Structure 1
């Protein structure tokens, strides 16, 4: 989309803030039921095993809490504990997302890793051949000869055109 080796433009601060708000709100405003969303975002950005484990573990924990809340009577203390665990899970997932995302450097590739150098940064490719047409060519080790020098051109005499008939 941006050509060979050209990195995409950095995200604007408005889009970064909007993403942070939406990911953090998904964990809190849904009462913890979508607490996996910010955790999966961090897991994709960082790629650490602990982040992936927390993201995948939050799904069955939310399902268990919902099952407990729905299966016990309203006066039972276990329903209150299940709801408290879900709310805490949503708040903790959103806070963890904000802390990690703010600390992450903004110079990232499209999948969270560092931006690799362009494969066209050098003039000789990996297979040892010259760069393809249109890329900067290496300087020639040879000195120019008289034939390669531009030759002076003789001035061009314009064609006089048709002569008007005399009357």
Structure 2
């Protein structure tokens, strides 16, 4: 609401699975012609030189293999070898893509409630800066709260309640004060009004 969050929203599990199926299907259903598509996806996600090299090399290999299949006679064994190369390239690129994508999503997932070590800090209205919450709706580490009771007396058991933002608590307190004020002054006015009749 007040600034850039810094992290793009996470994709849902359904979206991730759909993308995996589409990239795998592109390579397999084209008989290896589009085997470079999942490899380019890995190269874009990871950005390593090996991934870019594999993606660019797979493109002429798949096109060349399918050109051989289309130009040699059906009885020639070179056509069989070329088709096998194209299909192995397609299966290999899909397997490499799925392994890389699954590993990338497992590395990016962190347990809820713990801030990653590289997060920045947020400045609240009171107190020193504290680490920013890692996910929307999850509170980061909270500063210690002074105890209202001496250490020898046990704390009363209260049911756990959901954490609310400080602004809502402030408005709630102000409304309680206003309600008390109106009760006190409303009683006096009614008493004065009745006595004045």
TM range (shorter): 0.5 to 0.7
Partner of 1:78 in structure 2?
78
Q: Tell me how far apart the structure 1 counterparts of residues 122 and 39 of structure 2 sit (CA, whole Å).
A: 39
Q: Note the alpha carbon deviations across 1:65-122, whole angstroms, 9 max, x for none.
A: 12211221111000111111001110110011111111113539xxxxxxx856xx56
Specify every segment of 5 or more residues in structure 2 that has no aligned partner in the other structure, as ranges.
Answer: 110-117, 128-197
Q: Tell me how far apart the structure 2 counterparts of residues 3 and 80 of structure 1 sit (CA, whole Å).
A: 59
* Displacement of 1:3: 4.6
Partner of 1:16 in structure 2?
16
Cα distance, 1:78–1:13 mapped onto 2, change above 3 Å: same
Relative to total residues, which structure has the larger helix share, 1 or 2?
2
* Displacement of 1:8: 2.4
Q: Tell me how far apart the structure 2 counterparts of residues 28 and 67 of structure 1 sit (CA, whole Å).
A: 17
**How many pairs were matched up?**
121
Specify every segment of 5 or more residues in structure 1 that has no aligned partner in the other structure, as ranges.
Answer: 109-115, 124-135, 140-167
Partner of 2:41 in structure 1?
41
Question: Which TM-score applies when normalising by structure 2?
Answer: 0.54
Q: Note the alpha carbon deviations across 1:15-40, whole angstroms, 9 max, x for none.
A: 01111111111111111110000000
* Displacement of 1:9: 1.9
Alpha-carbon RMSD across the aligned residues, in angstroms, is 2.8
Q: Tell me how far apart the structure 2 counterparts of residues 46 and 99 of structure 1 sit (CA, whole Å).
A: 13
Q: Tell me how far apart the structure 1 counterparts of residues 40 and 119 of structure 2 sit (CA, whole Å).
A: 27
* Displacement of 1:4: 1.9
**1:55-134 pair list within 5 angstroms:** 55-105=55-105, 107=108, 121=121
Q: Aligned to 1:34, what secondary structure does the other structure show?
A: coil
Question: Which TM-score applies when normalising by structure 1?
Answer: 0.62
Q: Tell me how far apart the structure 1 counterparts of residues 125 and 26 of structure 2 sit (CA, whole Å).
A: 52
